[in-house]
Amino acid sequence: MITSLSIENFALIEKLSIRFSNGFTIITGETGAGKSILLGALGLVLGKRADLSSLKNKEEKCIIEASFKLDKYNLRSFFETNDLDYEDETIIRREILPSGKSRAFINDTPVNLQELQELGRYLIDIHSQHQTQELSEDEVQFRIVDLVGGNAEVLQSYILKLKDYKKASSTLKDKKEQLTAVLKERDYNSFLLEELFSANLIEEEQEELELQYKKLSNVEFIKENLSKAIAIADDEQFGVLIGLKEIKSALQKNAAISAESGNLFERIASVLIEFDDVQKELVSLSELTLSDPEELERVNQKLKLIYDLQKKHQVNSITELIAIRESLNDKVVSVLNIENDILSLEKELVVLEKELNQFATSLHENRQKAIPVLTEKMLAILHDLGMANARFDIQLIAKTDFQSNGKDDISFLFSANKGGDFGLLKKVASGGEMSRIMLAVKSILAEYSNLPTIIFDEIDTGVSGEIADKMGDIMRKMSQNMQVFAITHLPQIAAKGSDHFEVYKVVDTEQTRTELRLLSKEQRIQEIAKMLSGANVSESALNHAKELLN
C-alpha cells in the first residue's frame, strides 16, 4: 500500500507532501482543481513517460517520491530478479530534469522505466473513466475469469510452454525452407563439388606450376644462355677460370715480399674456389636442362584447369577455390543434417502440443467452474446497485489453435432488463451500467488478488442517489482487504471514506497553484454539504451532510 506521496515542481503543484492510511480514502474537489494532477504524478512514479510540460518551473527539476509498505505482498522475488535492494518500506523516486531527461530510483538504486512499470503493476490499479470500456475486451475478460478460477500458475506454465512451441515451430519452418532451397541446388552443388575434388587442388600449387611452365616452355633459351656462360667461364685461352688462375699465380709471387699482395692473393684464391664451383654447376644445370613436351603439356593442362575454375567461381587463388569446395561440401552434407533437425523438431513439437493441450484443458475446466461463481457474485452486487433484472451469459468457445491464453474464445453477454435479449456487453450496457458492472468486477477481484491498492477515478459517473450510496458501501467493504481511493463528485460516496482529502486551487497575484489538505470532521461536513447544495451551503445541506457522515 502507498503510505506517502511528495511532489515538487509538477504542473500546478509547487510542493506537496501527503500521508495516507490503509482504509478508504476520498479525494474531492471542484472540476479543474487538480485531481488529475495527482494521478499524473502517481503515474510518473509508476513508470509513465514524462516531458518538460510536466515542470511548473522550467528552470528547476521535478521530483515525485512515493513510499510503499510491501511486507504483506510477497514481492521479494521481484527485487531479487531485478537485483534491487528489498525494503519493507520501499521508496520510489522519479526526477524530471530541466534538460528533459528523466531518472527513476527504487530504494535509491537507478532503474529503467520498464522495471518501474513492472513493479507498478504489483502496487496500484488506477481505474480511470475510460478504462470502463476495457471490460469489453477479451484480454480483460479472460483476466477476470482466470483470477476467479485460480488459473495463475497454469496460465503461466501455458504461456512459457507456448513460447517454446512457437520458437520450435518457427525453427521448423525455417529448416523446411532451408531444406527446399538446398534440395533445389543439391545436384548443381554436387557437380561443382565433384569438379573441385577431381582437380586435386593443393595450397600454393599454382605458383609452383606457373614457375615450372615458364621454365619448360623456355628450355632452348635457357640452354643457349647456359652454354654461353660455360664457354666464357672455361675457354682454354681467354676463359674467366684461366684468367683467375693467372691472377692467383702473379699475386702468389708478390705475397712473400708484400703483405698487401698476400691479402689479395688469399681473396683471389677464395674467388677461384667459388667460381670453379659455379662453373661445375653451370655444366651440371646445362646437362639437366632438357626438353620435356609431355611434362610441359601436363603442367599446361593443370594450369588451364585451375584458371578455368577460378574464372568459373570468380576468384583469384587456389585458397579461395578450396574454401568454396569446403562450403559446397557442407551444403551437400547439410541435407542429411537438416533432415535430422526437422525430424527432431517434429518430435519436439508433438511433445509440446501434448503438454500445451493439457494446460489448455486445465484452463478451460477451471474457467468453466469459475464462470457460475463469477456470475452469481456479480449479479448479487448488481442487484444491490439497482440492477435487479441484470443477467450475464459468459460463454467459452473451444478453439482448435493455440492462442495467447489457451484454446478458448470468450464472450460476456449481458441483458439489463427482464425478458430482454442478451447482447455483447459493449453494445448493450449504458455508461452508468458499465460503471456499476466494473465496480462489481473490481470488488470481486479484490477477494482473489493480492493487489495492495486500487484507485477509482470517478467510477461513479452516470449514477446518483441510492445507487451511489451502495457503490460507496462496496468500496468501503473492499477497503477491509486492500487500500482504496475514490476520486468522486458524489456526496454519498465521499461520506463513506475513513479519510477525506480536498484538492483546491490557490490564486495569488503572480500564479495559480494546486494544494491538497486532509479534512477534519467539521471540514468534511462543509465539503459534503457543498457537494450537496453548491457554493452557497444551506442549513439543510449541512444537516444532510452530518446524516451521511453518521
Mark which of 298, 314, 336 sits at the end of a domain: 336
24-28/483-487 β-pairing: parallel
| 218 within a domain of the structure (yes/no) | yes
Q: How confident is the model at residue 98 (pLDDT cuts 50, 70, 90)?
A: confident
Same domain, 106 and 235: no
Residue 105 has pLDDT above 90, yes or no: yes
| 281 within a domain of the structure (yes/no) | yes
Same domain, 110 and 184: no
Report the range out of 73-77, 103-107, 245-249, 297-301 with the highest average pLDDT.
Answer: 103-107
Query: Judging by beta carbons within 10 Å of its beta carbon (0-12, 13-18, 19+), is residue 227 exposed, middle or buried?
Result: middle
| 475 within a domain of the structure (yes/no) | yes
| 372 within a domain of the structure (yes/no) | no
> N- to C-terminal Cα distance for the chain?
27
Mean predicted lDDT score pLDDT of the chain = 87
Of 427, 405, 329, the closest CA to residue 360 belongs to 405
So what's the pLDDT on residue 159? Answer: 94
pLDDT tens per residue, range 426-455: 888 887 888 888 889 988 888 888 789 999
CA 60 to chain centre: 34
Mark which of 286, 312, 336 sits at the end of a domain: 336
Answer for the pair 433, 136: CB distance below 8 angstroms, yes or no.
no
Residue carrying the nine cell digits 557442407? 330
Q: Report the C-alpha gap between 515 and 33 in whole angstroms.
A: 9
Same domain, 479 and 332: no
Residue carrying the nine cell digits 632438357? 290
Same domain, 54 and 121: yes
So what's the pLDDT on residue 136? Answer: 79
| 260 within a domain of the structure (yes/no) | yes
* H-helix or E-strand spanning residue 47: none
**Mean pLDDT of the 2-27 span:** 91
Answer for the pair 473, 504: CB distance below 8 angstroms, yes or no.
no
CA 164 to chain centre: 16
The more confident residue out of 418 and 464 is: 418
Answer for the pair 148, 448: CB distance below 8 angstroms, yes or no.
yes
Mark which of 280, 309, 336 sits at the end of a domain: 336
pLDDT tens per residue, range 41-91: 998 999 888 777 778 888 888 999 999 999 888 889 889 988 999 999 999
Q: In what order do the strands lie in the sheet with 62-69?
A: 13-19, 2-10, 62-69, 89-96, 102-106, 109-111
Same domain, 305 and 238: yes
Residue 108 has pLDDT above 70, yes or no: yes
Residue 512 has pLDDT above 90, yes or no: no
SS (H, E, C) 413-462: EEECCCCCCCEEHHHHCCHHHHHHHHHHHHHHHHHHCCCCEEEEECCCCC
Coil vs helix vs strand at 227: helix
Same domain, 109 and 249: no
Question: In degrees rounded to 5, what are phi and psi of residue 504?
Answer: -150, 160
Percent of the chain with pLDDT over 70: 99
Q: How confident is the model at residue 130 (pLDDT cuts 50, 70, 90)?
A: low
Q: Which domain holds residue 6?
A: 1-128+450-519
| 269 within a domain of the structure (yes/no) | yes
Answer for the pair 161, 356: CB distance below 8 angstroms, yes or no.
yes
So what's the pLDDT on residue 129? Answer: 65
Tally of CA atoms within 13 A in the half-sphere of 409 that contains its CB: 7
pLDDT tens per residue, range 187-211: 677 787 788 888 888 888 888 888 8
Answer for the pair 149, 366: CB distance below 8 angstroms, yes or no.
yes
Q: How confident is the model at residue 168 (pLDDT cuts 50, 70, 90)?
A: very high
- The three grid cell numbers given for residue 231, joined into one nine-digit string: 664457354
Report the range out of 255-259, 288-292, 485-489 with the highest average pLDDT.
Answer: 485-489
Same domain, 105 and 195: no
Answer for the pair 240, 233: CB distance below 8 angstroms, yes or no.
yes
258, amino acid identity = S
- CB count within 10 Å of CB 336 equals 9
So what's the pLDDT on residue 327? Answer: 81
> 163 Cβ partners below 8 Å, 6+ apart?
none
pLDDT tens per residue, range 466-491: 888 899 999 999 998 899 999 998 99
Q: Report the C-alpha gap between 474 and 468 in whole angstroms.
A: 10
Same domain, 198 and 330: yes
401, amino acid identity = D
Query: Judging by beta carbons within 10 Å of its beta carbon (0-12, 13-18, 19+), is residue 269 exposed, middle or buried?
Result: middle
Report the range out of 27-41, 242-256, 401-415 with the highest average pLDDT.
Answer: 401-415
124, amino acid identity = I
Percent of the chain with pLDDT over 90: 38
Helices H / strands E in the chain, number of each: 17, 15
Q: How confident is the model at residue 131 (pLDDT cuts 50, 70, 90)?
A: low
**Mean pLDDT of the 88-97 span:** 93
| 123 within a domain of the structure (yes/no) | yes
Residue 260 has pLDDT above 70, yes or no: yes
**Mean pLDDT of the 151-160 span:** 93
Of 87, 84, 105, 104, the closest CA to residue 96 belongs to 104
Residue carrying the nine cell digits 489453435? 401
CA 384 to chain centre: 46
pLDDT tens per residue, range 10-22: 888 889 999 999 8
The CATH number assigned to the domain holding 484 equals 3.40.50.300
Residue 184 has pLDDT above 80, yes or no: no
Same domain, 1 and 98: yes
Buried b (16+ CB within 10 A) or exposed e, 134-159: ebbeeebbbbbbbbbbebeebbebbe
Residue 537 has pLDDT above 90, yes or no: no
**Mean pLDDT of the 290-295 span:** 78
Residue 155 has pLDDT above 90, yes or no: yes
Same domain, 240 and 312: yes
Answer for the pair 532, 546: CB distance below 8 angstroms, yes or no.
no
- The three grid cell numbers given for residue 160, joined into one nine-digit string: 512459457
Coil vs helix vs strand at 466: helix
**Overall domain count for the chain:** 2
* H-helix or E-strand spanning residue 14: strand 13-19
Same domain, 191 and 119: no
SS (H, E, C) 250-281: HHHHHHCCCHHHHHHHHHHHHHHHHHHHHHHH
Q: How confident is the model at residue 510 (pLDDT cuts 50, 70, 90)?
A: confident
Answer for the pair 437, 425: CB distance below 8 angstroms, yes or no.
yes
Same domain, 114 and 252: no
So what's the pLDDT on residue 498? Answer: 93
Residue 128 has pLDDT above 80, yes or no: no
So what's the pLDDT on residue 179? Answer: 86
* H-helix or E-strand spanning residue 46: none
| 66 within a domain of the structure (yes/no) | yes
